[in-house]
Each structure stands twice: as C-alpha cells, then as structure tokens.
Amino acid sequence: MKKKFWSNFFMGILAMGFIAGCSSDEWEEGGNTPNPDLEDAVYMNVQVQLPVAGAGTRSETNTDGTSTDGTEVGKDYENEVKRVLLVLADKKTNELIALGLDSKDLVISNTSNTTVKSNHKISKTVLADYYKKKGGADGKLKDNQINVYVFCNPTKGLTDFLLNGATDKSEWMNKIAEINETPVGALSGLDADAWGGTSHEGGFLMSTANSADIVKRIPHELKTWDAHTSPSKAFNLSGTNNASSSDTEINNEGSIRVERAVARFDFKDGSKNKDRKYDVVTEEKDGKTVTTIQIELQKMALVNMSKHFYYLRRVSEDGLNKGSELCGLENGSNYVVDTDATEKSVASFASFEFGKNFNFCLGSSDANKAWAIDEVAREQWYTQEISEVIEGVKDEWKNKEYRIWRYVTENTIPKANNQKNGVSTGLVFKGKMIATKDASDELKRVINEATGDPNTDPILYVYGSHMFVSWSEVRAYAIENKADHILYETVFGKNNTVEVVAEKKAGEDGTGAVAAVYSNDKTSPDYLWNKWYNTEHHNNENALKEFKKAATDAEFTLYQSSKDSDNNKGYFCYYYYWNRHNDNNNNGVMGPMEFAVVRNNVYKLAVTRIEQLGHPRVTENDPDPVDPDNPDEVGDVYITLAVEVLPWTVRVNNIEF
C-alpha cells in the first residue's frame, strides 16, 4: 500500500465514532505509549499460516498446472498477507462489537512453517460497553461466546466502511464490494485492489471461509482483560489463555480458515497440434472424409463479470439472501448467494440492467437500445489475443500448459433454470476460417482472396453440414437433390408454381448456356435473393435484409467477410462458452450452481474440440442468435472445453488468534 493511503487511513481511524476513548498513540504502528498497561486498550495476537511454498520461494505446480492433492498451488503474490483486519461481533445477532487492524507490520516468523504474526489493539472502552449491555447485574457475561471474522489485505472500500464510521452495526456483514473495470483492464472503485491491483502488490483480499471456525470465547468478566494490555500478553483466540487459573482459563483451540474473494481463469491451447487450429467442415472426396475448413482461434474475451460481491460469502437453499448462512459451505445442492440474486430471479432478462450489474456486458448495455451483440457490444468485452495468453512469460510455465489469464469476481445465479446467457459469466472465442488443401478451388479463392469488405466479397451459406460459396451453388444443389422435398421447399418455398432452373454458363464455343429460372414464391429465400441481387443489382440494403431474414428463417447461416486488422481479413465466427462450476454430468439438464464463478476457485480451461462453424459476426445472419434468455446448457454444441475446477491452497490458510 502507498504511504499516503495509510497516513489517511490511520487519521480516519482517529475519528471513528464507535471506538471510543482511543488516543492517537493507540493506533500508531507498534503502540509507542510510555506505559502500555495504562492504555485504553487490550491486545489480541494473530497468526496466519501461508501455503507450504512460503514467502521468498517460488510456488511450484505440476507440469499440468495442478498440485498433487487436487488443489492449485498459488503464486507467492496470491498467497501473501500484508494486513489483517479483525472483527468481533455478537454471537446471536452479528452486531458489531469492535474492530482491530494489526498494529505493527507482519513479519515472517520462520520459513519452514511460513507463519505471519501480528498484534491487534482493541479499545477497552468499547469492550466495557459490550459487557455493560450484555452482562448481568454483576456485569458478567453469562454467555461468553462471540463471533470472530478476519479479513486479510482489506480493500480501501472495506476499511473505509468499517474503520471510518460504519453506522449500522447490525448490517456490516452485508456490505458489498464494487469493482469497475474497462475493456482495456483499467480498474477503479474502492475495491479495485481486491486482487492487489494490476501489479498485485497490495495482496489479495481474503475473508473467513467456514462458519464452523467463527465462534470463540472471551473472558466472562471485563477485569480479566487487565491481563492482556500489552502485545506480549495478547489474548489468544486460537489457543489456551490463563491456563494456570481454573476460574479464568479459556480454551480457544481451532484456527480460522480464509479464502480469496475472487476466482482465477487459466487457459491452455487444447488443439491437437498446438496451433489453435481445429478441423470443422468435412466432405467426402474419393471415398475418404477430408477436412475442407479449419477454424483458427485468434481472440478470447471475458463477458459478464460481476461488478459486485459480498465481502463475506454466504449460502442458502434457494440462492436468495433471506435465511442464508454467513460463511456457509457450498455442498452441491445449495447456492452461493450473489448480491443481485433477487434481480436474477426474474422469469425474463429482457429488462435486466446489465450495465449496472456487469463489467464487459455480453450484449449492448445501452438502455435506449434493444439488446444485441453488435460492434458496440463487442467493444465492451475484455478481449485479448489468444497467442498472447498462451505465450505469456516464457520462463513462467511451458508453452503447452495452462497459463494464468486473469482474475474474475464471483457470479452466481439462483434457480437452476435461470442460468442464462445474459447473466452468466462466459468466454467468447473469435475464430477465422482457413481453407485447407482439400477445399474446392472456388472455396479457396473466396476465403484466401477476401478483402474484408462484406459488400463486395461473396456470402458463404451453411445449411446443415453443407457449405456453399454462392446462392447459385445453393439452388443448383437443391435442384439436383429435388427428391429431398424439405431442402427443395426450404430454398424455393412451398408456394412456388414454376419449374426452377439452375443457371448454366456457355461452353467454350459459346453454346449451351441456360438462363436461371427463380421461384415465384415471394416469401422464399430464392425469390428474395433474385430480387436483391439481380433486380436491385445488390445495392439495396432493405432488399438484402429481406433476403437475409428469409434465409435465416429457413435455417441458413450466412457468413460475410470482415477485416480484423489491415493484415487480417477474411471470414470470422464466434463461439460462446458459459463458465461451468459444478458439472452435474447431465447434458441438457442444469443443476444448482452448474454455471457460475465462485470465489477462491481456479478454472482451468482448454478448447479441445470445435464441432461446427460458430455464430456469424452479424446477428441478422444467424438463425440461432445468442439471446440473454437463452439457457446456458442446450442440445446443439458448437465448442467443447475441458474444464477443471480446483481450489487454491490458500483456501486452507489458517489464521490463529
């Protein structure tokens, strides 16, 4: 943290209304008063146990990016603890009792156990108020149990809220963090340092992970705290206190486990030849099945990353906050509760405020426009070249293995059937069509000579498993296979009354030419193509839209060329993947938390297979366009990703008091 921040931070603590009677010396680093025993303060020591790799050493993983016990070994900067915030709360109501930020710098106690210790100073006046409120007539606590929560590397948003004047002591645990990020990775907001900022120097925000660790005991009588008025006599919330006295002995055995507040996405090249190319379009040639079109994945984008998350995780049976368990565990049938759970419980997301809830919205977040995946929407995504993601820093991990891509906030959805494209966190892959040596000469020419101008380059048509490089080729195929009544009527319409004829060009001697005869069904794709291309000389935008609508309604997918850069022109398509968290292994039926992002998990992703050409760049060319209400799990699979969901080892970090 920057010195200026901590200077302002501690000045803010001096003004804190609910920690009464604190002198400025109480909150100085180290507590420099001449006689600490006379301070209005008591002490509690804190010990954080880090992953085995330890500080000052490099965290190691297997060659596939995992550890030997099924967890992900984090990097040193992901495991480091720089500050610890202690929160004491009432056991029954969780009403705030007192707070303590470690009062001296954390130090590595030894490299073998990799423990970090700090001291916390709590106002005795504040504790006295609690004993007065909760104690009996004699001032003693009948029930001396309280709830203890910890936050490692607290963000400015959290410290500002808790240490600089939180007014609602009963609702502090429902405080929400906010992170805003631009498509180029610029972070803003009071919680933008949840993963230590762009350089991770501030440390990752971590919080209590398990409700079983929370309940601790404090002395029955206020006067017992007189034995804990210096760092050397700090009260231990994870050990035995006053062991020599049967009257005041308190055993607080048991650590408090913490977890990171964010998740991580890793990625590797899952293609067969490690060239990001996948065989997609095939045809029979000389009795063999050959590949004519490959897809080269070039870019990947993150979409629908939540702007908000709770500082403390909670779970419930229905995914809603009412009746949820603070720091409860996910068990496979319950839900991790999100901050916008109620908004996500609606039957339709047609009027959902995507821009308010998400960074990198999948569709246009302009409230004045219809939801669409267009050029404006694509500019909202967090997009990177896949080659850069895979290469990374060459001496970090081998090129063929998983690479750390980025960190992602929690995003969960109540109700299994509400897991839909508009609100699920996902990845979008952009692929480019590559014509192979086995492609027809015409297909090679169209793809290889594309200028990137969709108004002049040919339209490619896909129907079922067939690709056509022109509408003339489509109609010729339909006429040749007239016995296939479905295809014939799809192209020429059910109400066509003329004998359609395929165009035949003249031979070298100038004879044998046959003029095309088009459908007279005015709703058919063939009629509308002839109207646009021939009658209107293919320069009437409305005529083109009419034809496109008829073609996509008939289940044709249209691909038009575009220019990704001056040196990258051609035919592109998109693949959408919704992050899978809790796979129920039942395709077509979504289970609780199947599509989600949950804090403190590493999602290791690799595209292993592409089944077919992806969605067209232009939505109106797509017979199956992505819609915010589309379910995340459907029958038609475009892309297959291998997914591993692993917990970070910091999940079992121990904080001892």
Are both 356 and 477 inside the same structural domain? no
Are both 307 and 406 inside the same structural domain? yes
Is residue 585 pLDDT above 60, yes or no? yes
> Is residue 211 in a domain?
yes
pLDDT 10s digits, 491-514: 999 999 999 999 998 877 777 889
Are both 402 and 321 inside the same structural domain? yes
Are both 372 and 484 inside the same structural domain? no
Task: Tell me the pLDDT of the chain averaged across its residues.
Answer: 84
> Is residue 31 in a domain?
yes
Provide the pLDDT for residue 308: 98
> Is residue 440 in a domain?
no
CATH code of 307's domain: 2.60.40
Q: How far, in Å, CA of 414 to CA of 266, rounded?
A: 26
Provide the pLDDT for residue 46: 61
Annotate 87-134 with DSSP letters as a single string: EEEETTT--EEEEEEBSS--EE--TTTTEEEEEEEEEHHHHHHHHHHH
Q: How far, in Å, CA of 29 to CA of 103, rounded?
A: 5
- pLDDT greater at residue 651 or residue 45: 45
> Is residue 561 in a domain?
no
CA dihedral over 549, 551, 557, 558, signed as positive or negative: negative
Provide the pLDDT for residue 172: 92
The count of structural domains within the chain is: 3
pLDDT 10s digits, 480-493: 999 988 999 999 99
pLDDT 10s digits, 279-303: 999 888 888 999 999 999 999 999 9
- Which structural domain range is residue 550 located in? 469-554
> Is residue 139 in a domain?
yes
> Is residue 439 in a domain?
no
Are both 13 and 87 inside the same structural domain? yes
Are both 473 and 501 inside the same structural domain? yes
Q: How far, in Å, CA of 357 to CA of 134, rounded?
A: 40
Cα–Cα nearest to 491, from 459, 529, 465: 529
Are both 361 and 333 inside the same structural domain? yes
37 burial (CB, 10 Å; 0-12 / 13-18 / 19+) is exposed
> Is residue 445 in a domain?
no
pLDDT band at 58; cut points 50, 70, 90: very low
3-state secondary structure 615-636: EECCHHHCCCCCCCCCECCCCC
Are both 549 and 528 inside the same structural domain? yes
Cβ atoms within 10 Å, residue 10: 15
φ, ψ (nearest 5 deg) of residue 391: -70, -55
3 state SS of 32: coil
Provide the pLDDT for residue 135: 92
pLDDT band at 116; cut points 50, 70, 90: low
Cβ atoms within 10 Å, residue 201: 13
Q: How far, in Å, CA of 500 to CA of 493, rounded?
A: 11
CA dihedral over 15, 20, 21, 26, signed as positive or negative: negative
Is residue 64 pLDDT above 60, yes or no? no
> Is residue 113 in a domain?
yes
pLDDT 10s digits, 10-29: 333 333 333 333 322 333 33
Are both 89 and 163 inside the same structural domain? yes
Cα–Cα nearest to 594, from 431, 414, 465: 414
Are both 175 and 297 inside the same structural domain? no
Question: 639 has which bridge partners?
Answer: 610
